[in-house]
Amino acid sequence: MKGAVKAWWYTPLILAVLVFASSCAPTTPDIVAPSNSSEAVTCDDEYVAPVSTSEGQELHSLADVVERIKPTVTAITTEILVRDILGRTRTQETAGSGWIIREDGYVVTNSHVVEAAETVFVLLDDGREFEATAVYADSWTDIAAVKIDVTGLPVAPVGDSGNLRIGDPLVAIGNPLGLGISATAGIVSALSVSLSTTGSQALLDLVQTDAAINPGNSGGPLVNGSGEVIGINSLKIALEAVEGMGYAINIQQAIPVIEKLIEHGRVERAWLGVSVYPVSPALAERHDLAVDTGILIDQVVPNSPAEAAGLEVGDVIVQFGDKVIIDTHCFIRAIYAKDIGDEVEIVFWRGDETMVTTARLEGTPDA
């Protein structure tokens, strides 16, 4: 099985206590801009174009929604090797969910459900179970495509998450706690939510819902009132005083990633080669920075485009190409928008001096 594409930059900030739903358990920056600063735009402009493969009508009841989508939802069981405190290895089973995107055996799930697995099994709604023949995972977006050797499968209809409104009814379907497929209902609580998680991930433009999302629901579909998939259930906020804050990757962002995973087995992205922290007024005061927004470089990867461009630890990037960078999410969006081989002008602060450099972006290195 192929592993995930690993990121070399990361966002160390954790905005809340976030738990993946698998059973494993602004102000404008005050910058001295370059000569083309009048053309700079904020990071929210034109990020992802809508993707829609279905224009269904609202169904009469949530039972109709579940009846339409349930045959395409799968339970996923993985086997991973774990070590005890004595160094002995044993096999541990974990549970997740998925949904069928192609009739020739491609199932969508989260990368955190499958990327560490030795073996992946997919249980269909009709009771048949298959061992995955290939797993393609992209840890940057927490999306994976699993291939099973079967054809003629029912395919989940895909909707347009760009049409969602706060208050729209939603149904989350999956395999919570590994106990079998079940459904929970709720509404769209918020849109365009971005959250930093642990490690390399910063998930953008998430759909927030109060539909219950529990361990094992990861990778399952979040479905609109027409029985169309508009999101991939991924994580929830797990705090004792918090209820009903689950998040799904919106389908507009997911579809291009899924297509690349199926076609190429991985997603290649432009890469600069830095790890960064978001700059805040408190961080700026603590480190005596000249600006209180942007991203502070914590590490420059050797032999990376960032090193070749002369960037150093302690520099604060405030503009990347034509995008003003106010935080790590802006930086991630700006990177996503570039192609391998692009030359990008970068504006940054070093101490009390603003500087400009150009970096030629490379492809993301293999892990």
Rounded CA-CA distance 319/16 in Å is 27
Residue 317 tokens read as 């990037």
Q: Look at residue 302 and give its three-state secondary structure.
A: coil
Q: Do you know the residue count of the chain?
A: 367
Residues 43/293, Cβ–Cβ less than 8 Å:
no
Rounded CA-CA distance 109/18 in Å is 18
For residue 63, give every residue at least 6 positions away whose Cβ sits within 8 Å of its Cβ, in sequence order, or none.
none
Q: Which of 112, 182, 226, 275 is catalytic?
A: 112
At residue 230, what are phi and psi to the nearest 5 degrees? -120, 0
Rg, Å, the chain Cα set: 21
Q: Is 112 among the catalytic positions? A: yes
For residue 258, give every residue at least 6 positions away whose Cβ sits within 8 Å of its Cβ, in sequence order, or none.
101, 108, 143, 145
Q: Which of 138, 142, 205, 210 is catalytic?
A: 142
Rounded CA-CA distance 340/335 in Å is 10
Rounded CA-CA distance 5/139 in Å is 6
Q: Is 218 among the catalytic positions? A: yes
Q: Which of 23, 161, 218, 275 is catalytic?
A: 218
Question: Which residues on adjacent β-strands are paired with residue 62?
Answer: none
Q: Of the candidates 19, 20, 21, 47, which has an alpha carbon nearest to the alpha carbon of residue 191? A: 47
Residue 192 tokens read as 């365009």
Rounded CA-CA distance 107/155 in Å is 9
The amino acid at 65: V
Q: Which residues are catalytic?
A: 112, 142, 218
